[in-house]
Amino acid sequence: MRIVLLDQGAMELIGSVGSHGDLDFSRLAATLPEWQAYEATADTQVAERIANATVAVSNKVRIDDAAMSRAPHLRLICIAATGTNHVDLEAARRRGIAVCNVPGYATASVVQHVFALILALSIRLPDYQQALRAGRWQQGSQFCLLDYPIREIAGKTLGIIGYGELGQAVARIAEAFGMKIMVAHYREGQPNAGQTRTPLQELLPQVDILSLHCPLTPETRGLIGAAELALMRPDALLINTARGGIVDEAALAAALCQGKLGGAGVDVLTQEPPTQDNPLLAANIPNLILTPHIAWASREARQRLVDEVAANIRAFLQGETRHRVA
């Protein structure tokens, strides 16, 4: 029995793969006697690398039906993440290959990143840092520099799209800041989960900050486009730590450049790594903070992820079901 980890480099600091990294992989390595880890795996290498594997572990490497067809011993695909869109779940079901993910491991990390973005945008932190480096405080006539408006988030309304574990955790912290919470109803058959929901088109004009926590599905792709951005207040903030593709990036860039939106904090893009022609990578987009998909990536969260993958494998080998999605 053999385990193959296809993209260990996606979970550790750059240049720190293996025993020299910042994570402890000993629990994962101990789950099966034969253990092989790769720093990265290209799409063209997947089939070859899982061909003799019993368990394949992937953070973001795509595993499709064609690759599964060349892996006759494969019994389990462990997704080292919460999202499952890079694995063909239907093909796995047909082939009798179990698939499990790791929900909830990065909640604390994502929540703190959400509020880091909200607070930095609300106090215009990047702008003040740039002004300081340019010498504007040093050259000023007053004891402080008041070049950009600063807003308190207490009393502001936070709209949340996606009220699962992450959305609810963000709401709890927002309430501690004294914010008001509104939860969007954005799809048919959506359960209330004990929270009153407001149709998205009604919610957008009412919120000071909109934070996205829904999965990327055919239903949510392009959910926030030009029409939705136009409904938001011109001083509102948009925070996306969910998935690229939920927001129309060109429309967001245009809204910011035209002063139709107050700011945006974006941690995810439609294509990752992005190409240089991505609209949000253009120079001089005002009040935009773009981070490279790191909301999940605290060391504590990444270690929990590795340990939960190991627990999923142990449970499967003992005939138990744990976080199974296919």
Judge whether 182 and 203 are in contact, CB under 8 Å.
yes
Rounded distance between C-alpha atoms, residue 136 and residue 269, angstroms: 33
More confident residue, 1 or 259: 259
Rounded distance between C-alpha atoms, residue 73 and residue 90, angstroms: 18
293 is catalytic: yes
249 is catalytic: no
Confidence band for 190, pLDDT divided at 50, 70 and 90: low
Confidence band for 1, pLDDT divided at 50, 70 and 90: confident
* Level-2 CATH architecture, domain 2-104+299-317: 3-Layer(aba) Sandwich (3.40)
Judge whether 270 and 249 are in contact, CB under 8 Å.
yes
Active-site residue among 49, 113, 213, 243? 243
pLDDT in tens, 35-80: 899 999 999 999 999 999 999 999 999 999 999 999 999 999 999 9
pLDDT in tens, 84-138: 889 999 999 999 999 999 999 999 999 999 999 999 999 999 999 999 999 999 9
Q: Would you mind telling me the total number of residues written for the chain in this entry?
A: 326
243 is catalytic: yes
The reply to whether 2-104+299-317 and 107-290 are identical in fold is yes
The fold adopted by the segment(s) 107-290 is Rossmann fold (3.40.50)
Helix 107-122 to helix 125-133 angle (10° resolution) is: 60
pLDDT in tens, 8-31: 988 886 544 444 578 888 888 888
Active-site residue among 272, 299, 300, 320? 272
Q: What are the residue boundaries of the structural domains of the chain, listed by start?
A: 2-104+299-317, 107-290
* Predicted TM-score (pTM) of this structure: 0.89
